[in-house]
Amino acid sequence: MKLLRFGPPGREKPGLLDAQGVIRDLSAHLPDLDGRHLGHDRLATLADLDPATLPEVPEGIRLGPCVKGVGKFLCIGLNYSDHAAETGAQVPPEPVVFNKWTSAICGPNDNVMIPRDSQKTDWEVELGVVIGEGGKYIEEANAMRHVAGYCVVNDVSEREFQLERSGTWDKGKGCDTFGPLGPWLVTSDEVADPHELAMWLEVDGKRYQDGSTRTMVYRIPFLISYLSRFMSLQPGDVISTGTPPGVGMGQKPPVYLRPGQRMRLGIEGLGEQSQHVVADEPN
């Protein structure tokens, strides 16, 4: 299934995308698409519904983040060997773990805001893993049982804040709108191999990233097991698994986002995002 959330910010309803590309309203069957409703039994109940019996949603409606109430937005850095090489970094001996604050989460086509005083806002197309069954000290062999599905993530990053101001990466990763999620959560049964997916990103029509999840260093079962040693993973948590080469920082010379530009990005089978870049304005 391709599950989604639609409607104005803060008032989204749950839905699904049917085989004809029509959005159907699921709100009669669940209150929202959050961790409480991402377990395998609940997803199986939704899968038994006939989409043709669900109300159609008008075309052009806004899509919200594909998961509500994300508890943890965990990210893995330098997890593609070719991306590490373009930034001059070594592949780390253990996964680099950082957070994006949940206030960074926005819809897949919402505006991305360049923060005040930013000079180096960058892009990163990433495969997001959504946890459906919680746990800790998860065995790698059982890890995929904990996955509800997958989504596209744009790990927008301010490189000066991230790398040049000391401390951890987090302050350059979690600015408002730096975490578009969606357009849909594609359940794990529809993704034969998450490590064989093409992924790409364009800015103003120029293709910068054109990679594949096959060059991921630490793969999903290992990442789930690894993270669960240090924290419990809970339903609705999102793990963003790293980016292939082609980020702005890796260009020669580097290229960064400016207000007025548009990003488009996607992952094979998981849909596309499109964001207009704007300057952040104080309230």
Weakest-pLDDT range from 15-29, 57-71, 184-198, 269-283:
269-283
Q: Kindly report the pTM of this predicted structure.
A: 0.96
Average pLDDT over residues 37-46: 96
Query: Above pLDDT 70, what percent of the chain?
Result: 99
Q: Answer for the pair 3, 149: CB distance below 8 angstroms, yes or no.
A: yes
- Give Cα 221 distance to the centre of its chain: 17
Q: What is the mean pLDDT of the segment spanning 141-161?
A: 97
CA angle 225, 180, 272 (to 5 degrees): 95
Average pLDDT (37-62) is 96
Beta bridge partners of 128: 151, 240
**pLDDT tens track for 169-203:** 899 999 999 999 999 999 999 999 999 999 999 99
pLDDT of residue 88: 74
Q: Which domains occur in the chain, in start order? A: 65-279 (3.90.850.10)
CB neighbours of residue 126 within 10 Å:
26
Q: pLDDT tens digits for 92-105?
A: 899 999 999 999 99
Whole-angstrom Cα distance, residue 169 to residue 105? Answer: 17
Distances (CA, A) of 161 to 115, 117, 175, 260: 10, 10, 10, 22
217, 188 contact by CB (below 8 A): no
The mean pLDDT value of the chain amounts to 96
pLDDT of the residue at 283: 62
Residue 166's pLDDT is 82
Please give the full DSSP string across 141-186, using - where no structure is assigned.
GGGGGGEEEEEEEE--EEHHHHHSSSS-SGGGT-STT-EEB-S-EE
